[in-house]
Each structure stands twice: as structure tokens, then as C-alpha cells.
Amino acid sequence: MSRPYTGNRDLATGARPGTVRFMDYILFFNPGARNLGIWANRTVRGGQSRSVHQTGRALDIGADRPQLAQIIEGIYRHRETFMVEEIHDYIGAWIPTEGFGAGYRCDRDTGGLFSGWRIYTKNTIGRGGSWTHVELAPDMANSAERVDQAFTELFSALEESNESSSNPDPDPDSGGLPVKKPSPRVRNQTTGKPRKT
């Protein structure tokens, strides 16, 4: 349902711990996807206002078109659990567009399939390549533990609905997320090397 959109009001000096952990999970569950960046000290492309990347709450995830569609669908499906504020689908990987992409924003979300999305008919969010831009709410971005809790809740719900299944592969209806909780190897924020949590 509709939540306030934060935008760039809370600039930071680096990536926030929850944003880093969220990226770790997305990359773990989507082999081949790439971290295209979290924190950046810059303005929005083609504009004067500060990019939400400068808040440390935005992340760019690169993938090929089919995988990108799966990632966007999974994040959108669980947008309330993850406290997602914005998603950009620059190339229409998940929502067919006419070349200018589509964007989700939490303050437009009234519930239901495709709620909160806008299909653009002009260059509004920037015509991009095969990646998605995702923004988390401050409470989620500030806490790696809160991200862990969100994924734990998600896995618990998926396990309950798939109790009879021993197959750890992604369920087609889970948005590309596995039905059994794994032990993800998230990356050490300093070294970038995988570590057990």
C-alpha cells in the first residue's frame, strides 16, 4: 500500500549497511547478476538534483534481460517486506514499454498487480541498459539485521507454503527466490570476499 517516498532528503557519506546486505542477497540468489553500484556523489543524470545514490539507499543491479525481469518481479512482489520505495525498469524487461522504460514508486502504490508503476512515453528516468535501479526506505537501508529479518520472514512463509517439497530450486511463483532458506555467503563490506553469516 502507499507509503511516503523519501527521495534524496537524507544524503550520506557512503553505502548503508542494509543496502549492502540487500545487494548481497540479490546477487547470491541470482548468479550472473552484477553490482553496478550503490553510493555515488553525483547529481541525477541530466539534472541538477542530487541522486538518491548519494543517500546510500539506492542500488543498481545488472543482468541479462530474462534474469533482470525475474529480479524486478521478485523485488516488486515482496516490496512491502523489503520496504522498497522505487524501482526502475529502463528497458521494459518486466513491463513492456515503448522504449522509455517504466518506474514503480511507493507513494503511487494502492495495492494489487502493477500498482505503483508508470510507463513512460518520454525520457523521464533515463534510457538505460540492462539493469534496474532500486531504492530502499531508510529503516531498511540502515540495518543489515533488518534485511536479514525480512529475508528470514520471506523464507519462512515460502517454506510453509511448500512444506511437502524438498526441492531447493526457485519456485516459479517466488520471483526467483528459493523456497528453502540457504546459508548465504554475503560479501565482507571491506574486502569484498564472501563470508558466512
**pLDDT classification of 196: cutoffs 50, 70, 90:** very low
- Do 76 and 112 touch, CB atoms closer than 8 A? no
pLDDT at 179 over 50: no
Can you give the pLDDT at residue 125? 64
- In tens, the pLDDT along 155-178 reads 888 888 777 555 555 555 555 565
Residue 182, SS3 per DSSP:
coil
Q: How many C-beta atoms surround the C-beta of residue 138 within 10 A?
A: 18
Can you give the pLDDT at residue 36? 96
Can you give the pLDDT at residue 161? 77
User: What does the alpha-carbon distance between residue 2 and residue 110 come to, in Å, rounded to a whole number?
Assistant: 6
Can you give the pLDDT at residue 189? 45
b/e map 37-67, b = 16+ CB within 10 Å: bbbeeeeeeeeeebbbbbbbbbbbbbbeeeb
Alpha helices for the chain (secondary structure H):
17-29, 65-77, 79-82, 138-141, 144-161
User: What does the alpha-carbon distance between residue 83 and residue 64 come to, in Å, rounded to a whole number?
Assistant: 25
User: What does the alpha-carbon distance between residue 196 and residue 152 come to, in Å, rounded to a whole number?
Assistant: 16
pLDDT at 121 over 60: yes
Can you give the pLDDT at residue 188? 45
- In tens, the pLDDT along 49-104 reads 899 999 999 999 999 999 999 999 999 999 999 999 999 998 888 988 877 888 99
Can you give the pLDDT at residue 193? 45
**pLDDT classification of 112: cutoffs 50, 70, 90:** confident
**pLDDT classification of 192: cutoffs 50, 70, 90:** very low
**pLDDT classification of 19: cutoffs 50, 70, 90:** very high
Grid coordinates of 100? 522509455
- Do 88 and 67 touch, CB atoms closer than 8 A? no
Q: How many helices (H) and strands (E) are present in the chain, helices listed first?
A: 5, 8
What average pLDDT does range 104-128 have in this prediction?
84
Q: Which phi and psi angles does 184 have, rounded to 5°?
A: -65, 145
- In tens, the pLDDT along 133-142 reads 999 999 999 9
- Residues sharing a CB contact under 8 Å with residue 58, sequence separation 6 or more, in sequence order: 19, 38, 51, 52, 86, 133, 134, 135, 136
The amino acid present at 43, given as its one-letter code, is: T
What average pLDDT does range 26-55 have in this prediction?
90
